[in-house]
């Protein structure tokens, strides 16, 4: 450990959803103060109500904390890990270390505001400075409002105002050294938290697909900017191509700042010296994330209740076998099943597939968007309360700026359009591997000889469709009409 000014009281940097050292305002202010820095992470299982990290997020968290701990150790510091009630663990850390200040990054989840103000009161009483910083978003949600002072509920005007006014913060380098606090305090061992799955260990696909941590995030961004970004506008919708950044889990765990992503894409724009649709589209997606957070902060019930009141009484179906078929990728619609199996194997699903599978659950199967939201929450490595809830509501038609409920994706046409040769389906649904492109999105329509050559027996080696598309569409539209009629 590096030597610190004898007796100087440390600043605790309470790490929450920003597991990085670069571009970290709470950390850089602590370093700048000249005091020794005590990095602390608290796993508080009770803080997040029913939105505790899901299985895939726990896997990512374990790996990410490990990487952060190593990055801090390389600089002479030590990441302290504690598990339990946040107020209790912060108080203990203050008492044990003699800290006189705590720095942290603002949280936006519905429980964060009350937690932060309770802690503020607690530490004011103990004469400990409790300082909040930004950094998780490009800008604070309260800073962008309509001319009449209300939060935006429609993305296009939000984006126009955002693009016009926003400029990113300047980059802030990671501290070169951490000066050690005068008193050592105890830390948990991350392995004792049992965040990783064991019996069974389903994480092999996640390990193969991802490198959690700040280095992994940096490599993702650099690779994307140097390669995929140039064709992002068209490539981002193609299921069979690696056409997007795959930055979402790194952003969800704060291993990279959205400002770093914005700056890197803008620099590519400046290099071109002209407008570029791909870069603009990417910046716009980063702004979607801001929009979702803005919705969450202004409508904190969004994860649990529809934003459009008329959907509160919507009569969702209750057939649980359909839910199981959807979760396991056994609906008989290859594009839906490919998406759900990609999710299970890698903890990630392509955005287009998220829209198709979400539409299928809420329209074809008439199951509530909250069931899909909960499954994604448990299985996505990028599970993010704001993005997940806002997007589920968007697809289900009950969100603020949602696709209308009656816009029902046809899973066969979506497959043919965004996976034209069927490569995405073949990759994730290997039992259809030998079907030709003209049959791979609707195996039940193929002639007997084609099916035989491909070794496919519909209903046996691959399921028959669990619902008929046309009938399901008609049923969904009828349900929507009757819910409108029932509206008070
Ligand atoms: P890119 O296309 O490279 O986009 C760059 C970044 O912009 C993403 O990493 C993400 O942070 C942001 N972004 C892109 N699209 C959206 C969007 N529609 N809404 C908000 N932010 C966006 N995203 C999550 O991060 N966490 C979730 O839990 C989540 N749940 C979703 C659930 C449903 C039903 C749907 C339809 C979408 C969901 N999304 C979620 C949004 C989107 O699918 C992912 O952000 C995207 O697929 C991540 O891949 P990428 O990093 O390659 O994205």
Q: Are 56 and 95 in contact (CB under 8 A)?
A: no
- Quick one: pLDDT band at residue 273, thresholds 50, 70, 90? low
**Residue 111 placed within a domain:** yes
The partner residues of 82 in beta bridges, in order of sequence, read 42
Q: Are residues 320 and 464 in the same domain?
A: yes
> What does the pLDDT read at residue 309?
87
Instruction: Tell the residue nearest (CA) to atom 29 of ligand 1.
Output: 388
Read out DSSP for 208-230?
A: HH---SHHHHHHHHHHHHHTGGG
Q: Are residues 62 and 147 in the same domain?
A: no
> What does the pLDDT read at residue 7?
58
Positive or negative, the CA dihedral 15, 21, 27, 30 is positive
**Residue 219 placed within a domain:** yes
- Tell me if residue 369 is catalytic: yes
11-15: strand order across its sheet: 80-83, 37-43, 11-15, 101-105, 129-133
Does the C-beta of 286 come closer than 6 Å to ligand 1? Answer: yes
Q: Are residues 126 and 153 in the same domain?
A: no
* Candidate list 285, 305, 310, 433, residue with the active-site label: 285
Q: Are residues 240 and 356 in the same domain?
A: no
Q: Are residues 131 and 151 in the same domain?
A: no
Does the C-beta of 238 come closer than 6 Å to ligand 1? Answer: no
Report CA Rg, the chain: 24
| 485: its two tokens | 């009629």
Q: Which long-range contacts (CB under 8 A, 24 or more apart) does 205-209 make?
A: 205/344, 205/345, 205/346, 205/347, 206/56, 206/59, 206/60, 206/346, 206/347, 206/381, 208/346, 209/346, 209/347, 209/348
Distance CA 1, CA 341 (A): 46
**Residue 182 placed within a domain:** no
Q: Are residues 317 and 293 in the same domain?
A: no
Does the C-beta of 314 come closer than 6 Å to ligand 1? Answer: no
Last residue of one domain, picked from the residues 279, 298, 317: 298
Does the C-beta of 364 come closer than 6 Å to ligand 1? Answer: no
**Residue 200 placed within a domain:** no
Q: Could you say which DSSP state residue 81 is in? A: E
Distance CA 93, CA 155 (A): 42
Q: Which CATH number characterizes residue 265's domain?
A: 1.25.40.80
- Tell me if residue 392 is catalytic: yes
Q: Write out the residue range of the structural domain in which residue 271 sits.
A: 137-169+211-298
Q: Are 465 and 333 in contact (CB under 8 A)?
A: yes
Read out DSSP for 427-464?
A: HH-GGGTTS-HHHHT-GGGS-HHHHHHHT--BTTTBPP
* Candidate list 316, 410, 433, 444, residue with the active-site label: 316
pLDDT tens digits along 336-352: 999 999 999 999 999 99
In the predicted model, is pLDDT for residue 49 greater than 80? Answer: no
The partner residues of 11 in beta bridges, in order of sequence, read 37, 101
Positive or negative, the CA dihedral 463, 466, 471, 474 is negative
- Quick one: pLDDT band at residue 283, thresholds 50, 70, 90? very high
Distance CA 453, CA 157 (A): 53
- Tell me if residue 428 is catalytic: no
Does the C-beta of 252 come closer than 6 Å to ligand 1? Answer: yes
Among 240, 263, 482, 254, smallest CA distance to 366 is for 482
Among 110, 117, 114, smallest CA distance to 50 is for 110
- Number of compact structural domains in the chain: 3
Q: Are residues 76 and 145 in the same domain?
A: no
Q: Are residues 274 and 421 in the same domain?
A: no
* Candidate list 14, 344, 392, 428, residue with the active-site label: 392
Q: Which CATH number characterizes residue 122's domain?
A: 3.40.50.620
Distance 387 CA to ligand 1 centre (A): 7
Task: Please state which of the ranges 120-134, 217-231, 301-315, 321-335 shows the lowest mean pLDDT.
Answer: 301-315
- Tell me if residue 285 is catalytic: yes
Instruction: Tell the residue nearest (CA) to atom 23 of ligand 1.
Output: 387
**Residue 103 placed within a domain:** yes
Q: What count of Cα atoms within 13 Å lies in the side-chain half-sphere of residue 92?
A: 16
**Residue 186 placed within a domain:** no
Residue with the two structure tokens 């979607």? 288
Last residue of one domain, picked from the residues 277, 298, 319: 298
Q: Which CATH number characterizes residue 367's domain?
A: 1.10.579.10
Last residue of one domain, picked from the residues 135, 153, 177: 135
In the predicted model, is pLDDT for residue 108 greater than 90? Answer: yes
**Residue 304 placed within a domain:** no
- Quick one: pLDDT band at residue 275, thresholds 50, 70, 90? low
pLDDT tens digits along 3-32: 444 458 999 999 999 999 999 999 999 999
Distance CA 450, CA 443 (A): 9
- Mean pLDDT taken over the chain: 94
Distance 77 CA to ligand 1 centre (A): 34
Q: Are residues 283 and 165 in the same domain?
A: yes
- Tell me if residue 193 is catalytic: no
Q: Are residues 249 and 372 in the same domain?
A: no
Tell me how long the chain is. Answer: 488
- Tell me if residue 109 is catalytic: no
Q: Are residues 25 and 95 in the same domain?
A: yes
Give the pairing type, strands 80-83 and 37-43.
parallel
Does the C-beta of 241 come closer than 6 Å to ligand 1? Answer: no
| 385: its two tokens | 């309360």
pLDDT tens digits along 425-482: 999 999 999 999 999 999 999 999 999 999 999 999 999 999 999 999 999 999 888 7
- Quick one: pLDDT band at residue 2, thresholds 50, 70, 90? very low
Instruction: Tell the residue nearest (CA) to atom 20 of ligand 1.
Output: 289
- Quick one: pLDDT band at residue 220, thresholds 50, 70, 90? very high
> What does the pLDDT read at residue 1?
39
Q: Are residues 163 and 114 in the same domain?
A: no
**Residue 191 placed within a domain:** no
- Percentage of residues of the chain with pLDDT beyond 90: 88
**Across 225-244, average pLDDT:** 95
């Amino acid at each position: 450990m590096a030597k610190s000014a004898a007796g100087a009281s440390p600043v605790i940097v309470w790490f929450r959803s920003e597991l990085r050292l670069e571009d970290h305002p709470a950390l850089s202010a602590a370093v700048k103060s000249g005091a020794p820095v005590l990095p602390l992470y608290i796993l508080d299982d009770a803080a997040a109500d029913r939105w505790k990290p899901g299985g895939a997020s726990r896997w990512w968290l374990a790996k990410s904390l490990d990487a952060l701990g190593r990055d801090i150790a390389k600089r002479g510091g030590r990441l302290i890990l504690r598990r339990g009630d946040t107020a209790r663990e912060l108080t203990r850390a203050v008492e044990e270390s003699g800290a006189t200040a705590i720095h942290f990054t603002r949280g936006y989840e519905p429980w964060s505001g009350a937690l932060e103000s309770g802690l503020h009161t607690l530490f004011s009483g103990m004469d400990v400075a409790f300082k909040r910083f930004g950094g998780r978003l490009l800008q604070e949600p309260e800073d962008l409002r309509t001319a009449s002072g209300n939060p935006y509920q429609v993305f296009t005007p939000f984006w126009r105002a955002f693009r016009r006014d926003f400029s990113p913060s300047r980059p802030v380098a990671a501290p070169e050294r951490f000066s050690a606090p005068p008193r050592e305090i105890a830390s948990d061992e991350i392995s004792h938290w049992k965040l990783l799955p064991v019996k069974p260990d389903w994480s092999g696909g996640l390990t193969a697909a991802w490198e959690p941590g700040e280095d992994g995030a940096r490599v993702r961004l650099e690779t994307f900017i140097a390669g995929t970004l140039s064709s992002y506008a068209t490539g981002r919708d193609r299921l069979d191509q690696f056409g997007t950044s795959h930055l979402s889990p790194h952003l969800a765990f704060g291993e990279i700042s959205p400002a770093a992503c914005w700056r890197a894409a803008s620099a590519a724009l400046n290099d071109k010296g002209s407008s570029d649709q791909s870069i603009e589209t990417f910046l716009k997606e980063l702004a979607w994330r801001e929009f979702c957070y803005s919705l969450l902060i202004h409508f904190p019930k969004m994860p649990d209740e529809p934003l459009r009141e008329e959907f509160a009484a919507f009569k969702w179906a209750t057939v649980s076998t359909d839910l199981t078929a959807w979760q396991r990728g056994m609906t008989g619609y290859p594009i839906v099943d490919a998406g759900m199996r990609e999710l299970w194997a890698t903890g990630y699903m392509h955005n287009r597939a998220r829209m198709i599978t979400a539409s299928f659950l809420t329209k074809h199967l008439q199951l509530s968007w909250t069931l899909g939201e909960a499954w994604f929450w448990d299985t996505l490595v990028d599970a993010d309360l704001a993005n997940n809830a806002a997007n589920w509501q968007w697809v289900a038609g009950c969100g603020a700026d949602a696709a209308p409920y009656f816009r029902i994706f046809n899973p066969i046409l979506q497959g043919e359009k965004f996976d034209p040769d069927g490569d995405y389906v073949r990759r994730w649904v290997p039992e259809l591997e030998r079907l030709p492109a003209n049959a791979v999105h609707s195996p039940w329509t193929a002639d007997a000889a084609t099916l035989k050559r491909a070794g496919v027996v519909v209903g046996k080696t691959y399921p028959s469709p669990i619902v008929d598309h046309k009938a399901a569409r008609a049923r969904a539209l009828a349900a929507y009409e009757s819910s409108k009629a029932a509206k008070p």
